[in-house]
């Protein structure tokens, strides 16, 4: 124990004589360095939060855009369903009023009901594409 105390005393004496600055100065330097590190870390954390906020904005924008696209697509589906419904209920006389549809085509359209989509008239080979354009236009006018 005695040797330990002697070594401790000698170490304190040597440290005091060799140390380049006083305790107050050393503590001030350590405190200043710690503050620099703290501020640097704080800036990086703030940048991280800003990037996360920007990423959140991008995600919200994408979600909003996809919701809008889905809504627009569903509106298109609603229009298609409306056209098919109208095609399933339109009378023979109304079909005959459409340019390009005569008695034979009107009867074919009526005989092949029901339709899930208006395009099925072309897909099933009942109407040519050019006449279907006239039919679609007329269905849009009548349902509006």
Residue spans per domain, the chain: 27-143
What class, spelled out in words, does domain 27-143 have in CATH?
mainly alpha
Q: What is the pLDDT of residues 18-50, one digit of tens each?
A: 767 677 887 888 888 889 998 898 898 888 888
- Split at pLDDT 50, 70, 90, the class of 103 is very high
Which stretches within the chain are classed as H helix? 2-18, 23-89, 92-96, 103-111, 120-123, 129-143
Q: Which residues contact 129 (CB under 8 A, 6 or more apart)?
A: 122
- Split at pLDDT 50, 70, 90, the class of 17 is low
């Amino acid at each position: 124990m005695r040797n330990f105390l002697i070594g401790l005393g000698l170490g304190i004496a040597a440290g005091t004589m060799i140390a380049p600055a006083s305790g107050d100065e050393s503590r001030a330097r350590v405190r200043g360095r710690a503050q620099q590190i703290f501020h640097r870390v704080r800036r990086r954390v703030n940048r991280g939060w800003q990037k996360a906020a920007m990423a959140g904005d991008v995600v919200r924008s994408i979600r909003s855009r996809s919701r809008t696209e889905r809504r627009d697509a569903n509106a298109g589906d609603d229009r298609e369903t409306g056209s098919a419904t109208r095609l399933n209920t339109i009378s023979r006389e109304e079909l005959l009023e459409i340019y390009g549809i005569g008695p034979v085509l009107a009867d074919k359209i009526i005989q092949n009901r029901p339709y899930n989509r208006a395009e099925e008239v072309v897909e099933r080979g009942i109407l040519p594409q050019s006449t279907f354009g006239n039919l679609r236009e007329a269905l849009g006018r009548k349902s509006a």
